């Protein structure tokens, strides 16, 4: 597993805990790192992603609501909501990361942690957000090389 993939997984887990408890993110991070260890670089990326997402969660949720047509936001499963928030944050703020890589990583998180059809839902919503935020048409996940992860 590449360092950015591992960082996304850590950020996802911290965001899921934050969403469930609404404990301040710094407390969530402290508790998380007491149970898990990683490289300093991976930790730095994970914390940037988790803090960044939590900081603009209102803007992120509005983007998800606009893209998730025919779904009430509060009805989206917690795992899917967390994956969508993280992916949306990256699409909005991590401009150096290619959109298709972000979508592919989000789909993989949804496959790993979500329900059987979560990955298709996450892909559809993030694809709509990707087109709106980055103006890139036809953004579909693609296979990534080991260097991109």
| Model pTM above 0.85 | yes
Supply the pLDDT for residue 138: 45
Supply the pLDDT for residue 146: 43
- Taking alpha carbons only, the member of 89, 77, 67 closest to residue 7 is 89
Domain 3-134 = CATH 1.10.10.10: no
Supply the pLDDT for residue 1: 72
Tokens describing residue 51: 């803090």
What does residue 10 show for φ and ψ, rounded to 5 degrees?
-65, -45
Would you list the domain boundaries of the chain? 3-134
Give tens-digit pLDDT for 128-141.
Answer: 999 999 986 544 44
Give tens-digit pLDDT for 9-51.
Answer: 999 999 999 999 999 999 999 999 999 999 999 999 999 999 9
Task: Please tell me the distance from the alpha carbon of residue 129 to that of residue 22, in angstroms, as a whole number.
Answer: 25
Give tens-digit pLDDT for 40-70.
Answer: 999 999 999 999 999 999 999 999 999 998 8
**In the structure, what pLDDT confidence band is assigned to residue 88 with cuts at 50, 70 and 90?**
very high
Residue 148 has pLDDT above 80, yes or no: no
Tokens describing residue 95: 């401009």
């Amino acid at each position: 597993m590449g360092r950015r993939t591992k960082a996304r997984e850590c950020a996802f887990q911290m965001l899921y805990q934050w969403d469930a408890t609404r404990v301040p993110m710094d407390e969530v991070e402290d508790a998380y790192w007491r149970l898990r260890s990683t490289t300093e670089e991976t930790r730095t990326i994970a914390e940037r992603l988790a803090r960044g997402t939590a900081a603009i969660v209102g803007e992120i949720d509005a983007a998800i609501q606009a893209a998730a047509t025919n779904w009430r936001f509060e009805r989206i499963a917690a795992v899917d909501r967390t994956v969508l928030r993280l992916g949306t944050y990256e699409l909005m703020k991590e401009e150096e990361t290619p959109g298709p890589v972000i979508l592919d990583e989000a789909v993989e998180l949804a496959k790993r942690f979500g329900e059987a059809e979560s990955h298709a839902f996450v892909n559809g919503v993030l694809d709509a957000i990707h087109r709106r935020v980055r103006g890139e048409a036809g953004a579909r996940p693609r296979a990534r090389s080991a260097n991109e992860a």
